[in-house]
Chains A and B, each alone.
Chain A
Amino acid sequence: QVQLQESGPGLMKPSQTLSLTCTVSGDSISSGSYYWSWIRQPAGKGLEWIGRIYTRGATNFNPSLKSRVTISVDTSKNQLSLKLSSVTAADSAVYYCARCDYYDSSGLDVWGQGTTVTVSS
Chain B
Amino acid sequence: DIQMTQSPSSLSASVGDRVTITCRASQSISTYLHWYQQKPGKAPKLLIYSASSLQSGVPSRFSGSGSGTDFTLTISSLQPEDFATYYCQQSYSTPYIFGQGTKLEIK
Contact = CB atoms under 8 A, between A and B. Distances in A.
Contact of B87 (A47, A52, A96, A100): A47
Contacts, number: 65
A102 to B, nearest CB: 11
Interface in A56-85: 60-64
The A interface, classified by DSSP as helix, strand, loop or mixed, is loop
A25 B22 CA distance: 35
Contact of B49 (A60, A106, A113): A106
Interface stretch (B13-21, B67-75, B88-96): B88-96
Contacts of B44: 47, 96, 108, 111
Interface in A29-62: 37, 46-49, 52, 60-62
Contacts of A61: 94-95
B92 to A, nearest CB: 7
Contacts of B45: 111
The B interface, classified by DSSP as helix, strand, loop or mixed, is loop
Given A46-B100, A47-B87, A96-B43, A108 B94 contact: no
B32 A104 contact: yes
- Residue of A52, A108, A112 ringed by the most chain B CB atoms within 10 A: A108
Contacts of A52: 94, 96
A109 B49 contact: yes
A111 B43 contact: yes
A47 B98 contact: yes
A31 B32 CA distance: 24
Given A46-B98, A47-B98, A107-B49, A100 B43 contact: no
Interface of A: 37, 46-49, 52, 60-64, 96, 98, 100, 104-109, 111-114
Given A49-B94, A64-B95, A107-B50, 16 more contacts: A46-B98, A46-B99, A46-B101, A47-B89, A47-B101, A49-B96, A52-B96, A96-B44, A100-B91, A104-B91, A106-B49, A107-B36, A107-B89, A109-B49, A113-B43, A114-B43
18 contacts: A37-B96, A46-B98, A49-B94, A49-B95, A60-B95, A61-B94, A63-B1, A96-B44, A98-B43, A104-B32, A105-B50, A106-B50, A107-B55, A108-B44, A109-B46, A112-B43, A113-B42, A114-B43
